[in-house]
Chain A
Amino acid sequence: MKNFIIAFLIVFLLMFSVSCSKKSSVSENLVIYAYDSFISEWGPGPIVFPLFEEKTGIKTEIVSPGDSGQVLSRLILEAEKPEADIVIGIDNNMAQKAISAGILEKYTSDALSNIDDNLIFDKSGHITPYDYGFFAIIYDSEKISVPPSSLDDLLDRSYSKSIILMDPRTSGPGLGFLLWTVKAYGDDFTEYWKKLSPNILTISEGWDSGYGLFVNGEAPMVLSYTTSPAYHLEYENSEIYKAAVFENGNYMHIEGAAIVKGSKKREEAEKFIDFILSEDFQKELPLTNWMFPVRDIPLPDSYRAALKPEKYLLLDSRTAAENIDSWIKEWLTAVRD
């Protein structure tokens, strides 16, 4: 027991003394903030960061403060004393929040000329897009023979308690689907949600638990991305899960990276932004980040299951940013009744 108290004393003093040392200098490395699934063992991080180091000789330091919302919160918290040089994972819905918070630098890479203009969602020149995808209702083709082909089809009475959605307050796809209905129905979107309610089995807090319910057979339809079936084809050799492509278009999701304001490594940071548009980086995205690369490059074979809708929907990112909070409130009133 004595030893226990003494051990505690030593640990405590050590912690205290370590804690008191002031930071001596800025990091030597290029500091990159990214969301967790990007740096995860199964994400693009372990492949692309070493590749960048090898090609440029620039050492990187990767930090992940959680999901993409938490990455942005941290950057805003650190606005006065920025630690990061690069941020990965600012999407079209959050872009305006980040730009108004004044935490990003402008940079227009030459490589952007290779990219479809529609994908360059930030016209102010701060954020460089690197991949994109489409939200979609994924359905189990063994249980649903005639898939829905529009948002209106989802209201069909036969789909009672058959759809798993995500909460826009806590999940990216959840927010995407809310914006989708706003784009499609305008001010009447709350009416749509009221009619949709009986067909919703549950609204999960995150994509992971929602999709987990779906693959365990709890409901035949779930909100996800059009690329989800490609995963099942690639790793499970199964084409049973399919994406429903809607006649009026699926809502789009674009992710980008930017240089953080206050970065002392402008030159290296620019090299990194150029790198994310290079083929080396782009070709890793389909099977690790499960999104379409922004460059027009050959896709893996399993991507034949990942449909690209001919039409897509997208709200202007400024309009979205200004109204998201009030839309969420209206949505809550509609679904809580």
Chain B
Amino acid sequence: MTVKKSAAVFYSLPFLFILFAFYFPLANLLISGVSPSSLINIFSESYFKSVFIFTLKQAFFSAFFSMIPGLTGAYILVNFNFPFKNIIKSITLVPFVLPSIIVVLGFVLLFGNNGLINSAAMKLFDLEKPPFLILYSFKAIILAHVFYNSPLFIRIVSSAWERISGDIIEAAESLGATKLRVFITAVLPQILPPVIAAFSLIFILCFMSFSIILVLGGGPKFTTLEVEIYRLVRISMDIRAACSLSVLQSFVTLSFLFIYSFYQKKTSMIYSDNFRIPEKKSSSSLLQIILIVLFFLFLFIIIIMPLAMIIFESFRFKSSHAGNAVFSLRWYIKSFSELGFRPVKNSLILASVNTLLTCAVSVAALSFLQRKKTVMKVLIETFFAMSLGVSSIILSLSYMKAVSDFQIEIQPLVLLSMLHSVIFLPLVFKSISVFYDKIDRSIIESAESIGADRRRILFTIELPLVRGGIITGGVLAFALSMGEINSTLMIAPDRFTTIPVAIYRLIGSYNFSQACAMGSILIVTCVISFFLIDKSGRIEL
């Protein structure tokens, strides 16, 4: 095979994959499904408009409030060295993998009316009623979304921040610019694309959120479009209407994505291969110390404590209701004797395949896009990001229908990996594309002019330059796949139990403490995995 031909095959693979694994089953479902009349019906509901507006509003506020600690965290991770930095980096990503039910439990144990904070305050000040009514309100929704998503912000922004061009900063500094001025004129324009990328991703993720919103918000006055899709599938059995609504939802999310992509391509004009390895400071100004303290306080209360509550709960055992709780390994022993290592093994396999697939598809597609014009780039990027806006229940239904309609025999496990990869591809794609956009075109052109072929350019120039993006994207893909539950429940083969599925089943049969034990296993597995991915990424690539 000639080089050219093999390149053509290579570049067609991501397109074939997304067509086969996403567009084909979805189109098959929508052809039989979408009916404009059912959409009109939905629109005519009096409460629909308020549902729509609320969905937008909570997504915006969630993204906004995730940005504040997110930016601070990225700044601190990039500019300062402190002990256990890598472990802390790994832990911050854990919320991202947790099934919503575990997050709800963690929040209730900490912030609830009977939670740690309130019961401690009641004892301390001898109060009769819980003093802090945190949950079951709009602020609880935002708090939970910040818990979930600010780590995503930190990841995406800090990985790009670490590699911003040093030239301009040095130039600005040598001209005697103040630190603030350097930040505004030299740093900010360069981290703006990843900031907007992270913001829009969080916006879209929160746009699709629903279980956290219902239970922590306090009920149906906080309803998102996703709840309505769920109702149409579950109660009304009106799959056509559900599809129609899902299409509408995708249009909204995608228009945001489209606008963002276009903006990103137009603004990120500063390219450099001379990324600054920032010197880590040990002495700091007062403002910096305050920032660091605030960030660690946030990290401790909002991220670490809910996780710690779950782990704490998993070691508690009461032999009778009135008795005192004692430290016990009972829930772990019970879990391992009932399930063995299967859930851990299954989750790890699924997450690894997903990581590999999404990263490879993204890199291949982005490498191809490198040589395309801006408009074309934005269009194709949107083409790959489409699945982000489609509700996972609709995607799972489309898989079921395709398998049934065409009588295709696919290993259920392969099917599930495909589905996971499709769902999470957009996130990985975006994290890597932020890096691809920063590659200096002139380097590639000069490599081409001295006769380097595409493959050589990919391996020797592009990959090292986008390494940070691959690590970020890979960690995200791994995390999301570890925590995924909806489509896993619908598509997974018999007796294929992942950790989140085990948690869901345990809670369904009253075993809350044992669910916390499985949750803790998930947390620990993820921290170790993130740590290893981060580490291996830095050495190998």
Contact = CB atoms under 8 A, between A and B. Distances in A.
A256 interface: no
A237 B317 CA distance: 13
Contacts of B459: 1-2
B45 A202 contact: no
B13 A167 contact: no
B320 A332 contact: no
Contacts of A40: 505, 508-509
User: By CB atoms of chain B within 10 A, which of A73, A210, A215, A216 has the most?
Assistant: A73
Contacts of B223: 332, 336
A335 B321 CA distance: 35
Contacts of B104: 209, 212-213
Interface in A42-100: 42-43, 61-67, 69-70, 72-74, 76-78, 80-81, 83, 94, 97
B507 interface: yes
A67 B414 CA distance: 22
Given A78-B400, A210-B215, A22 B108 contact: no
A205 B400 contact: no
Nearest to B14: A12
Contact of B353 (A11, A213, A324, A332): A11
B513 to A, nearest CB: 10
B321 A22 contact: no
Interface string B410-442: 110010011000000000000000000000000
Interface string B321-361: 10000000000000000110000000000000100110111
A216 B490 contact: no
A45 to B, nearest CB: 9
B215 A213 contact: yes
B321 A201 contact: no
B231 A170 contact: yes
A78 B397 CA distance: 10
A65 B211 contact: no
Contacts of B409: 21-24
Contacts of A207: 508
B233 interface: yes
A202 to B, nearest CB: 5
A335 B221 contact: yes
Contacts of B339: 41
A76 B238 CA distance: 10
B296 interface: no
Contact of B108 (A5, A39, A216, A333): A216
B235 interface: yes
B510 A235 contact: yes
A19 interface: yes
User: By CB atoms of chain B within 10 A, which of A16, A69, A167, A324 has the most?
Assistant: A167
Nearest to B234: A69
A332 B356 contact: no
Contact of B105 (A41, A66, A216): A216
Given A42-B505, A201-B136, A212-B104, A64 B489 contact: yes
Interface residues of B, number: 92
Interface stretch (B109-117, B142-150, B267-275): B109-117
B338 A41 contact: yes
Interface in B79-107: 100-101, 104-105
B113 A42 contact: no
A299 interface: no
Contact of A5 (B210, B360, B491): B360
Interface string A302-315: 00000000000000
A147 to B, nearest CB: 18
Contacts of B13: 9, 12
B510 A169 contact: no
A230 B315 CA distance: 24
Nearest to A164: B215
Contacts of B490: 65-66, 70, 74
A36 interface: yes
A101 interface: yes
A225 B74 CA distance: 48
Contacts of A69: 233-235, 237
A37 interface: yes
Interface in A166-206: 167-170, 175, 200-206
Contacts of A23: 407-409
A18 B321 contact: no
B404 A37 contact: no
Given A37-B509, A201-B136, A332 B220 contact: yes
B467 to A, nearest CB: 9
B444 interface: no
Interface string B223-257: 10001101101111101000000000000000000
B257 to A, nearest CB: 25
A165 B130 CA distance: 21
Contacts of A237: 319-321
B302 interface: no
Interface string A17-35: 0111111100000000000
A77 B404 CA distance: 8
13 contacts: A5-B364, A41-B497, A61-B494, A66-B486, A69-B237, A70-B233, A167-B220, A169-B220, A207-B508, A216-B114, A236-B318, A290-B510, A328-B231
